[in-house]
Structure 1
């Protein structure tokens, strides 16, 4: 569309607040940035300008990848602030007698500035708008909610109100993922299989984690002591190719043998449980094995132990002998990790502690396995 023209869309107008016009309409995704701009936050000497954060490239790329993956459902509305340069023309015609009269239908005229000046500002959805402009399908219909206000204070107020709502809990999202069969963005899709395996470990009676994993759907407080986030994070490492314990059960076409993965996980963690029976199944405050740090570290240790066990005839016996060699060096419920300088209950769920504990256990396993040959 050329500068100086107007983009005309069908819209519904209503009012909120003190007579503020609010519109609802649809646009092709690529059209949003033709008349709307992103008001970046910056400070000019003592004056604060704009309100939007900088583009998050990884987030935008993830949305673009999702939009390019096929016919996708993308009903997320973009919220705009409009200048008073827009014009609305109400539609004529009869109306049903029992209509709920909240809005007026008509056409909304959105001018395209000749000098590059735009008549709208994105209040919510800047990352989506950028992604839509870069997607292969330029005609994805996008819902837009827009209110008329050139007042930067009102725009900032709405920006804060929209974005102050707490995002969905990651644990809730992870638990829902195995129940979703439609296309998902890559960052969500990557948690689907680990979450499904986490469900199996928690629900299968043959699992050492049977009813020990805390999930968001649990209504009763029982014996669950293990964070599902910790177990999912550990399983994600076990799925990474090429030198991980579970990657061999994934094929290049994206299919996975979840049952076999479950059996491998159950075999390893059953050996962990039997090696450290006094530290298993109790609250993380009393056992750092059940703590996020313990689950993550022992989960990472699974890869070298399981891969080594595959080369011998009795893999289960080899797994248990590998863990038994570590038993006297581990301080899950008492004592001190001398090499790390921590008392048993000083181990925290920080990335630093997880990385150091993981590195220590893997190096110790490597050293002891060589000495046993």
Structure 2
């Protein structure tokens, strides 16, 4: 590297996580976007790329207005993932007496490459970095923490963990979860398998949900991934759940069996309600998050009831056919529920009432058939 194609800063280097180099230094706000790219979440040929959400313009404008308001204190650190192409030269001389030996000082050299090929990626602070780039004062000293890794999996892991306590879009975290292998907090770990199954349902051409699920990387779908993920998460909680029966603690999960069951059940739902399937939630409450959650809860009951049937697919379709005349997904009023079809909303109260109504309806029909 030459002085003309790299940025040199004074830095402190330490190690974490089994030998990963971590650097602490300051940059002028304008320099962050010279050395770092924003890796936005997207899909190329169904392969997940990047991890950052879209720019929040109002948020960026608010930060920029604050930065332009006069001399400001801006101690919030930007977190960068640094390419191994960076170089660090340790300072010569002995450290001061009785100094802490946590880190060592030196000069960090970061190559300056064109956008899209830069030697750093923003893990936390993309809205702040965009605002700093737009601010009138381009010489605001910004604290930066950088760790060396060009592995997108590590960057995603750090992105999720750093932003766990902040209001990131749930759909963004949901889509990223299957792509990381780090030990996650319990609530996130519980969503990891359902999110992977959700992605399979969305990308499999043989799935009734093919192309219908709205994910952070593709907002064209009509079914929220959160509704499906919460449904599967609930089914996985106990061995009595339709999916939970295939969960094997310590020996791995039979995810193939889980996925086959999901296809069997939701294929039957699609074919039972063809006029309600695949339509926007404003036209069909079956595709609404309340409808997905309620029908997902019904899956556990129905799959348990047909467990011994020689032809489970036919048995499920038979049970759904008995329930279908009592459902009001696209018009009319739900008898015994007290709601018009389009009055059902994504509130816990409405989801619970619709779920209980379907479960009671199924149980009453099953008793009458005996």
TM-aligned CA deviation for residue 168 of structure 1: 2.1
Query: Where do residues 1-373 of structure 1 align in structure 2 (5 Å cutoff)?
Result: 94=93, 167-218=167-218, 221=220, 224-253=221-250, 255-373=252-370
Asked if the contact 2:239/2:247 (under 8 Å) is kept, the reply is no
Q: Structure 1, residues 164-204: CA drift from partner, whole Å, max 9, x if none?
A: x9532221111111111222221111101000000111111
Partners of 2:366 and 2:96 in 1: CA distance:
76
User: For residues 184 and 312 of structure 1, do their structure 2 counterparts lie closer, same or farther at Cα, with a shift above 3 Å needed?
Assistant: same
User: For residues 238 and 107 of structure 1, do their structure 2 counterparts lie closer, same or farther at Cα, with a shift above 3 Å needed?
Assistant: farther
TM-aligned CA deviation for residue 358 of structure 1: 0.3
**Unaligned runs of at least 5 residues, structure 2:** 1-9, 17-75, 77-90, 101-143, 146-161
Partners of 1:298 and 1:278 in 2: CA distance:
16
Partners of 2:98 and 2:359 in 1: CA distance:
64
**Unaligned runs of at least 5 residues, structure 1:** 1-13, 15-22, 29-78, 80-91, 96-104, 111-143, 146-161
Partners of 1:254 and 1:364 in 2: CA distance:
38
Asked if the contact 2:276/2:330 (under 8 Å) is kept, the reply is yes
Could you say which structure has the larger radius of gyration? 1
- What residue is the counterpart of 1:131 in the other structure? none
Question: After the TM superposition, which parts of structure 1 deviate over 4 Å for at least 4 consecutive aligned residues?
Answer: 23-28, 92-95, 105-110
Q: Structure 1, residues 12-71: CA drift from partner, whole Å, max 9, x if none?
A: xx9xxxxxxxx989899xxxxxxxxxxxxxxxxxxxxxxxxxxxxxxxxxxxxxxxxxxx
Using the size of structure 2 for normalisation, the TM-score is: 0.57
Partners of 1:94 and 1:106 in 2: CA distance:
9
User: For residues 317 and 167 of structure 1, do their structure 2 counterparts lie closer, same or farther at Cα, with a shift above 3 Å needed?
Assistant: same
User: For residues 106 and 255 of structure 1, do their structure 2 counterparts lie closer, same or farther at Cα, with a shift above 3 Å needed?
Assistant: farther
Using the size of structure 1 for normalisation, the TM-score is: 0.56
TM-aligned CA deviation for residue 337 of structure 1: 1.0
User: For residues 172 and 322 of structure 1, do their structure 2 counterparts lie closer, same or farther at Cα, with a shift above 3 Å needed?
Assistant: same
SS state of the match for residue 196, structure 1? Answer: helix
Task: Report the number of matched residues.
Answer: 233
User: For residues 295 and 25 of structure 1, do their structure 2 counterparts lie closer, same or farther at Cα, with a shift above 3 Å needed?
Assistant: same
TM-aligned CA deviation for residue 233 of structure 1: 0.7
